Structure 1
Amino acid sequence: MSTHDMVVNNPVALGEQAPDFTLDSTQGPVTLSDLVSRAPKGVVVYFYPKAATPGCTKEACDFRDSLNTFASAGYLVVGVSPDGIPALERFAQNEGLNFPLASDPDKAVMERWGAWGEKKNYGRVVTGTIRSTFVVDPAGVVVLVQRGVKATGHVARLRRDLGIDSQ
């Protein structure tokens, strides 16, 4: 049994229309449909537990360091967590994050996407953020789903899975 097994009820699934959302972010209000309309290949939506924690910092900095590569390949990136805007703004400033970090304090978007719920963490069942990444294509369809990912190495695997490094 994995230390990060999870239970998700009616999560967003591969091949379905991505549920739209509008959230406050470090770059003003962000709406998925607006991002999708501006992304030639798609939008990477990643959900993470808490700003400025070691794993989330590693993942965010990996996205920061790869942002030009994602952009050159036609992808935009947005991170979503339950943190409030002040915490996200500090995180973005301290780490030089160059993409929007969106705040979902009531966890409604996270729940709808299957990124909030019960998960097993080191043998205990807890409720929390299920570190997850989705890619939404220009038609608004979910074309990649990765749930329960590990922060370290995740961005490199995502780049590989999207074929970005072979372009």
Structure 2
Amino acid sequence: MLISVDSLSSRLRSILDGADDPHLSKPQSPPGKGNDNPSRNQAEAASAYSPKIVGIYMPPSVEYIISVFSILRCGEAFLPIDPSWPRDRVLSIVASANVALIVTSRSSFGKGGNKDINEADWLVERVGCRVLCFSMEDSECSGPLELAWPCENEKERLFCYLMYTSGSTGKPKGVCGD
């Protein structure tokens, strides 16, 4: 599992820094500009940074756990997106959170072989961010990982994850956590 985390961490860092990946689907329109929050004050910005939001669109699985660890390893924040949610809710949350990338997995949806039309294919057409289809079979690490652990970075990230409320009193609201 550690090899998978290292491999996905490296791929995520490359993609978030602008590199291409064979399993990356890009939207027709260019992705939004980062996750800079203009309301942050100058002192907070000097000592910490606002991480990029990486959505995880898959049911609970080994790939889900690897995705969480990999996103944290990159120093970014994850946003759980439940595939059972209505599509309009998913689209609203992805837009509200200004998601930089969504990670999904073919194998998490229980399909295999050549017939595995990914349950997340609709995301590529409907959201304004890139979608990475991750699979355990894609995990390969060709040597030592050159990625420092986030705790070794100069600036502390403001939050590690973003969760959305149920929206029972109206529109779902994002809640950041450490």
TM-score (norm 1): 0.37
Which structure shows the bigger proportion of residues in strand conformation? 1
Flag the structure with larger Rg.
Answer: 2
